Amino acid sequence: MISELISYPVKGCAGVSPSETVVTDAGLAHDRSFMVVDDDGTFRSQRRDPRLALIRPGIDTAGERLTLSAPAIEDLRLAVDLDAPRQEVRLFGRGYRGIDQGEEAAAWLSSVLGAPSRLVRVPPEHDRVTGGRTPGTCGYADSGSVHAISRATLDELNRRRHGPPIPMSRFRPNLVIDGWDEPHREDRAHRVVAGAAELAYAQLAIRCAVTLVDQESGAKAGPEPLRTLATYRRAATGGVAFGVKFSVLRPGVIAVGDALTVVAWTGSELDAARKSQVYSCDSLERLSSEAR
């Protein structure tokens, strides 16, 4: 069963949790449609700018009006611009196009983050292709259209560690799956149907330093969960695996409470899945040093 749906209209910022939404070819409606960049057009991430977590977006169903909220500053309300000239933006070293959303948005974001920043939107003609076992597309997401984690997978992590439980928000999934007893079962779900949408396994989600950020305070909170994950979820490409990325085979409406039906399983476990991994964040060693 789908117990939570979360979309992140602005990459790196807080999510919104609709009870029902449309799964498009690029993932949940409006997911990572916007991105904060520096003066050079390079994306800003919680890896370096953890205060992004404090920015709470709101967007209308049509995607025409965006609201940004943050502590101690007046809300920003924008009419989304799709007509401005396109500019180059960079995401993990690769060049894409973005539509700058103007000086008011730039000034607001620069004030919140304490560094020169601008807001760009994915152009309608955006044609990014993502890889993995099942290729797909997405907006400005790191990789893959839909990121899914089961509640059993998170429970297993918290069972293995000491201290307060790590919340699901640290991993920023789009779909939270409930009702499975076996952790990491999503790793073997080759093709799934949820609501009117059909998804296919693309690749494991390799975790990065964003998981170290407390999503409520916008501050790094120590070496967990990467330290514990390193004891049992190491990936051959570096880093640790937790959750999966799906590509969209059939768009459609999806709602909280919908059954998630696995219509095809794969026999692959973590070792075999590593071979198809085409994306990773920083190596675990680098992430650990950033956490200290």
pTM: 0.91
Arch. (CATH architecture) of 146-291: Beta Barrel (2.40)
Reported as a single tens digit per residue, the pLDDT across 80-125 is 999 999 999 999 999 999 999 999 999 999 999 999 999 999 999 9
Q: Where in the chain is the domain with CATH 2.40.33?
A: 146-291
Extended beta strands in the chain, E state = 2-5, 20-24, 27-28, 34-37, 56-59, 65-70, 73-79, 86-91, 94-100, 118-121, 146-150, 175-177, 189-194, 197-207, 213-214, 219-220, 240-250, 252-255, 260-265
Task: State the alpha helices, DSSP H only, in 218-266.
Answer: 226-229
String of b and e for 12-38 (b: at least 16 CB within 10 Å)?
bbbbbebeebbbbebbbbbbbbbbbbb
Nearest to 80 by CA among 96, 92, 98, 54: 98
pLDDT tens-digit profile of 27-76?
Answer: 999 999 999 999 999 999 999 999 999 999 999 999 999 999 999 999 99
Say what percent of the chain tops pLDDT 70. 91
Q: What is the pLDDT of residues 159-200, one digit of tens each?
A: 999 899 999 999 999 999 999 999 999 999 999 999 999 999
